[in-house]
Amino acid sequence: MPELPEVQTTVSGLQKVLPKLHFTDVWSDLPSPINTSQTFKNKNYFEKTKKLILNKKVVSVSRRGKNILIHFEKNLTLLVHMKMTGHLLYGTYFFDNQEKVWKAKEKGPLQDPYNRFIHVVFTLSNKKHLAFSDARKFGKIALLEEHDLAHLGPEPLDAHFTLPRFKERLSKKPKGKVKTVLMEQSVIVGVGNIYSDEILWLAGVHPERKVADITADEMKAMFTAMKQLLRKGVDFGGDSTSDYRNIHGERGKFQYHHQAYQQTGKPCSKKSCRGVILRKVIGGRSAHFCSIHQK
């Protein structure tokens, strides 16, 4: 789910609704949420954070890599990472005392089954809610700290991110397999399993090629494919192959344009290529690629 285009879709949605509002309450089903040490899983941390963010106006919402940043007045920022199965959902919710879960009042996409995994609910000053659902509870919600973003590579869709810079970043890991390196957030942010498969299919590069052996032409092809596919992902509102939803509970449409990801066994759709899409575990992730044209 959430790679750069999905996170950007969520952020774009939040940018339309959150600024100028403030949170009037925060609920969470402690101690079940959310991920590791300094997060909402810790009751003291939750209470402390709640006290800090309540009644402060949201100034803006931004994205850094796959991190969502909600900026409040007084220089306070809340970081939300959706990891595998997180969603931020905006709507009017109510707590069902019988079933002990939050439910959306609206009919429509927000009635989605993922509501039953809501673990955090922010009540907003317009009486609506921002709910965080997360089936696998890998997600992270915490106050932003300096070191959270320190290790991150450059933004691939930034206009200043050029081909020479792309080569320079990848060459930090000359011995790495190219698919793995593309997904490393310290090299470039935003690319995950789906988009890396699609980028390498379009560029015609085998996912297990060592970075040091990639030719200049191939570098250029990967760079172009990366910009093109991430933009396409944003344009289609993200990828809902699995459970990604935007803040209104609606699906993205990038999944209808996969050429490689989860296309195992299908004929390759590249013009006059006779290949078939293979699946292989590379670096612990399932990689999908054409048997012929990705060399």
Binding site for DNA (CB under 7 A): 1-3, 32, 36, 65-66, 81, 83-85, 113, 117, 135-138, 151, 173-177, 180, 183, 185, 192-194, 239-244, 262, 279, 283-286
One-letter amino acid at 190 equals G
Query: What's the CA gap between 5 and 232, in Å, rounded?
Result: 8
Lookup result for tokens 């596919």: 229
Between 3 and 250, name the residue whose CB sits nearer to DNA: 3
Shortest Cβ distance from residue 224 to DNA (Å)?
21
Three-state DSSP at 219 gives helix
Q: Of 66, 179, 209, 245, which is the active-site residue?
A: 66
22 vs 251 by CB, closer to DNA: 251
**Could you confirm whether 179 is annotated as catalytic?**
no
295 burial class (0-12, 13-18, 19+ CB within 10 angstroms)? exposed
Query: Taking Cα atoms as reference points, which of 108, 137, 97 lies closest to residue 120?
Result: 137
Token pair listed for 263: 């296309």
Q: Pick between residue 19 and residue 155 the one whose CB is nearest to DNA.
A: 155
Return d(Cα 115, Cα 92) in angstroms, integer: 12
- Which residue in 128, 177, 232, 285 is the catalytic one? 285
- Give the SS3 label for residue 8: helix
User: Is 165 an active-site residue?
Assistant: no
- 49 or 67: whose CB is closer to DNA? 67
Catalytic annotation present for 174: no
CA distance 1 to 50: 28
Q: Is 251 a catalytic residue?
A: no
Helix (H, G, I), strand (E, B) or coil at 158: coil
Active site residues: 2-3, 66, 285
